[in-house]
Homo-oligomer: A and B are copies of this chain.
Amino acid sequence: MRIREFREADWPQVWEIIQDVVRAGETFPYDPAMTEGEARVTWIEAPPGRTIVAVEGDRVLGTAKMGPNRPGAGAHISTASFMVAEASRGRGVGGALCRDATSWAKSHDYAGMQFNAVVETNRSAVELYQRHGFRILGTVPRAFAHPSRGRVGLHLMYLEF
């Protein structure tokens, strides 16, 4: 597996991953009716942001996007989002994407990375971020309507570089 910048030819596979994640509805507060065009605008970042993929040959295993968390006076803090194809979970793809994203943000002089809405029942993501040094700064209770678990919390997670 290697991590590289997103290329146009990756889009059909990236879109499939996004669709699966959005359809499952368990991890991202995205509109379930999101169109392909909306997904592109949401996921494919223009500079100063960046979108990457984890690939094995031509197969896209996962993808991440990153950039400033806020404009103006908040632009020195980065944010990122990660999605891993269902068939590729449990193989370290998320960890590789997370390492790449934090390295990129550090080398671009961001002061930290913030995740605004980590679903608390998404234990594998919460634990992965914690292993990479992120801390839960606060949790908005019952802020995410999980399809099977009802309303669960959204964590604000942060790593200062």
A→B interface (CB under 8 Å): 22, 25, 28-32, 69-77, 111-112, 114, 116-117, 136-146, 151, 154, 156, 158, 160
Given A72-B25, A73-B25, A73-B145 in contact, is the A114-B140 Cβ separation under 8 Å? yes
Q: How far is the CA of A127 from the CA of B43 in the complex (A)?
A: 37
Give the dominant DSSP class at A's interface: strand
CA–CA, A31 and B74, complex, Å: 9
C-alpha gap A154/B111 in the complex (Å): 14
Report chain B residues within 8 Å CB of A142. 111-112, 160
Q: A76 vs B158: C-alpha distance in the bound complex, in angstroms?
A: 24
Given contacts A111-B151, A143-B77, A143-B112, whether A72 and B32 have CB atoms under 8 Å apart is yes
Chain B residues with CB under 8 A of A25: 72-73
